[in-house]
Amino acid sequence: MVRVLEVRRDTPSVSTLVLDKKVRPEYGQFFMLWIAGAGEKPYVCSRSGGNMEVTVKRTGPFSEQLAAIKKGDIVGIRGPYGNGHFQVTGRKPCFVAGGLGIVPLLPVIEGMRDAAKGAYVILGAKTAKELIHLERVKKTGAEIHVATDDGSAGDQGFPPELFLKTLAGKNFDQVLCCGPEVMMYQILSIVLEKKIPAQFSLERYMKCGIGICGSCALDPTGLLVCRDGPVFRAEQLRGTEFGKHRRDAAGSKTKI
């Protein structure tokens, strides 16, 4: 059980909680966060080292309760979990983030230190107001390309379109991606065709977080997102249900 030290409002629908707990997970590993009366859900740290920070978007009953938490409140955490994490292996990596997808990628970019100047970041959001952690990304020195659905900041369009256009003039040797699964699936198709090494952070309904319940299974491989991910290489996702189906709270398959 840990105390909330600070709550920062990042955008109208996104907040960051700073917790009284020092952690240093591998990039992309997740923690299960518990709120009394609401249960628990997986979250990735939005900063590496120092006090644990969790960035939360209000999307449903649990995240509404988490976002309503105030300085001094108590939450429960367990973790870190997951054996698949982000690793920078290229000198010219491209980071593709949609919405909250920048959260697990940002500590990776910051961890590159001076080498981040060779990185390229495609940062997508619905509107300018919903761009998350843009100032922190700028501080890394990486080249940034912003895209919004409505054109209120950067180019109007979606990250996969920009990625495809950008590929024509850049020679990326690696792609690291996180965002809505529909977006990631499009990026996956491109990198598999172009044979660019890539890593993707997946989100699934998680109950146990430790490989027991099967709710996060990636059919037909038997891979579990909580145990074998949440970050997977592109080749691991080829031919799976990624981009097509996921399980809901009852364990039934639903379309993405």
Q: Select from 206, 218, 234, 237 the one that contacts ligand FES (CB under 6 A).
A: 206
CB-nearer residue toward ligand FES: 44 or 196: 44
Q: With CB under 6 A as the contact rule, which of the stretches 6-14, 32-40, 200-208, 230-238 interacts with ligand FES?
A: 200-208
Q: Does 208 bind ligand FES (CB under 6 A)?
A: yes
Which span sits near ligand FES by CB under 6 A: 142-150, 160-168, 174-182, 203-211? 203-211
From residue 162, give the alpha-carbon distance in Å to each of 103, 134, 151, 186, 187.
20, 17, 13, 12, 10
Asked if residue 216 binds ligand FES (CB under 6 A), the reply is yes
Whether 62 and 42 have beta carbons less than 8 Å apart is answered as no
* Distance (Å, whole) CA 205 – CA 170: 36
- Binding residues for ligand FES, rule CB under 6 A, total 12
Contacts of 76 (CB under 8 A, 6+ apart): 1, 2, 33, 34, 35, 40
Position 221 contacts ligand FES (CB under 6 A):
no
* Beta carbon nearer to ligand FES, 197 or 211: 211
- Judged by CB under 6 A, the residue of 207, 223, 228, 246 near ligand FES is 207
| CA dist., res. 55 & res. 47, Å (int) | 9
> Min. distance of Cβ 231 from ligand FES in angstroms?
14
Q: Cα(171)–Cα(196) distance, rounded to whole angstroms?
A: 10
Answer for which of 88, 224, 231, 237 binds ligand FES (CB under 6 A) is 224
Q: Which residues contact 163 (CB under 8 A, 6 or more apart)?
A: 94, 96, 122, 175, 187, 190
